[in-house]
Structure 1
Amino acid sequence: MSRPQPTIATPEIADPGPVHLQPRNVAFDLEHTPLHWIPGHPIASNVISVLNLLLPEGERWFVTTYNEALPLVADEELAATMRGFVGQEAMHAEAHDKALWEFLDREGVDPRPFERQMRWLFRKALAPKENWEPEARRKDLVERLWLIAAIEHYTAILGDFALNNTWREHGADPAMTDLFTWHGAEEVEHRSVAHDVATYFGDGYIRRARAMGVALFGLLMLLHRGSRFIAKSDPYRKYSYFSMWTEYRRGAKAGVLPTLRSIVLATFSYFRPSFRPEEIGSTAQAVAYLASSPATRAAAR
Structure 2
Amino acid sequence: MTGARMSREHSDPGEPDRVVLHARDVEFDWARLPMHWVPGEPFATHMINVLHLLLPEGERWFVEVFKQALPLIKDDHLLEDVRGFIGQEAMHAESHQGVVDHFDAHGLDTTRYVEQVTWVFRKVLGDRPYEGERREEWLVERLALVAAIEHFTAFLGQWILDAEELDEVGADPTMLDLLRWHGAEEVEHRSVAYDLYMHVDGRYGRRARAMVIAVVALTVLWARGVRYLMRHDPVLRGSRKARWRDLLRTGKLGLTPSYWQMLRALPAFFRRSYHPSQHGSTSQAIAYLAQSPAARAAEH
**Fold shared by both chains (TM-score > 0.5):** yes
- Mapped partners of 2:229, 2:197: distance in 1: 34
Residue-by-residue CA offset, 1:125-168 (whole Å, 9 max, x unaligned): 11122x21210001111100000000000000100101001211
* Matched residue, 1:223: 222
Answer yes or no: is the 8 Å Cα contact 1:39–1:172 preserved in 2: yes
Q: Which residue of 2 aligns with 1:91?
A: 91
Query: CA 1:298–1:74 in 2, change beyond 3 Å: closer, same or farther?
Result: same
* TM-score, normalisation: structure 2: 0.93
| Runs of 5+ unmatched residues, structure 2 | 1-10
Aligned AA (2:110) = P
Give CA-to-partner distance per residue, 1:150-193, whole Å, 9 cap, x none. Answer: 00000001001010012111110011010111110000000000
Question: Which residue does the alignment assign to 1:117?
Answer: 116
How many angstroms apart in 2 are the aligned matches of 1:76 and 1:295? Answer: 31
Equivalent-residue separation in structure 2 for 1:16 and 1:290 (angstroms): 15
Contact 2:231 2:240 in 1 (8 A): no
Tell me, in whole angstroms, the C-alpha distance in 1 between the residues paired with 2:292 and 2:63. 24
Q: CA deviation at 1:107?
A: 3.1
> Unaligned regions of 5+ residues in structure 1, if any?
1-10
Q: Percent identity?
A: 47
| Superposition CA RMSD, Å | 1.6
**Which segment drifts farther, 75-84 or 232-241?**
232-241
State the distance in 1 between where 2:272 and 2:49 align.
34
Instruction: Map residues 265-276 of structure 1 onto 2, 5 A cutoff.
Output: 265-276=264-275
- Residues in 2 aligned to 1:109 and 1:154: alpha-carbon distance in whole angstroms: 27
Q: In structure 1, the residue corresponding to 2:32 is in which secondary structure?
A: coil
Q: Which amino acid aligns with 1:15?
A: E
Taking the TM superposition and a 5 Å limit, the aligned residue runs for 1:8-157 are 14-102=14-102, 104-129=103-128, 131-157=129-155
Deviation of 1:12 after TM superposition, in Å, equals 8.8
Instruction: Report the residue type matching 2:160 in the other structure.
Output: A
Q: Distance in 1 between matches of 2:95 and 2:185?
A: 13
Q: Residues 168 and 75 (structure 1 numbering): CA distance in 2 closer, same or farther, change over 3 Å? A: same
Q: Which amino acid aligns with 2:210?
A: A
Asked if 2 retains the 8 angstrom alpha-carbon contact of 1:13 and 1:284, the reply is: no
> How far did residue 279 of structure 1 move?
2.1
The alignment covers a number of residue pairs equal to: 288
Instruction: Determine the C-alpha separation between the residues in 1 that align with 2:169 and 2:270.
Output: 35
> Which residue of structure 1 aligns with residue 157 of structure 2?
159
Aligned to 1:295: 294
